[in-house]
Structure 1
Amino acid sequence: MSGLLIAGSVFAGIAALIHVYIFFLESVAWSREKTWRLFGLGSQAEADTVKPMAFNQGFYNLFLAIGIGVGIVLIASSSAEQAGLAVLIASLASMVLAAVVLITSNPKLARSAAIQGVAPLIALVLTLVSLAA
């Protein structure tokens, strides 16, 4: 495994951890005032209205993180490295594109988009460059 691929895998792991944390916030801790305020909601009533969507979105983030984990494990397995790269690249690209959708839908969410999108973008670039090298 090349140094670039290892670095890409490290950033991918960081991206996965960020998305697991987002899953926790959206699907487990959503009812806590501190959590829904973090997402810009002003009342418990607003949080209750958005809760089903947040719950669903949290699992989306968890599934992306799982994809990253599966990709890294498969890459480490010499017999399934190509499959691992495919899963890793698809998961990373999904994370990056979700961040693009977030910032284009509401530029005020640029900080949130950066939090969810920078690590997977770095990982994706490093992984793709490792393939070209």
Structure 2
Amino acid sequence: MPNIVKAWNIQNGASHDISGLVGQVHTMEVGNNMLFVGAERDFSNTILVWKGGSEADPFQMAAPLRGHTRGVVSLIVGRDRLCPGSNDRTIRVWDLHTLECVQELVGHTDVVMSLLCWDQYLISCSLDQTVKGLGCH
């Protein structure tokens, strides 16, 4: 189904459609009581953010995070930061409290496919056949 992210309550089996102009979803991550969805649609390469709400309305749209020029294909949450990797070969670092971009990391020459937080390090791998590590302070 286009433009739908579906959530299931694994305790009672109920489902909930998290709707909006989602597009093609590549990745999802949860952190700081928010759901982050990396998507690609109609030249709008945003990270969609929903906050946890009430039982009747469990998902409330918070904000789209804009900045990548191509689709977001990987996400990781660590140390109060959201780090998305993109087809535009960059990683952006977003503060989870303000939802503002605080840093752009450039260094890969192809798509950033996967990200990992390990202790104080952000580790990225890319289709450029490299793995890179950066200290998170």
**TM-score, with structure 1 as normaliser:** 0.24
**TM-score, with structure 2 as normaliser:** 0.24
Larger radius of gyration: 1
Higher strand share: 2
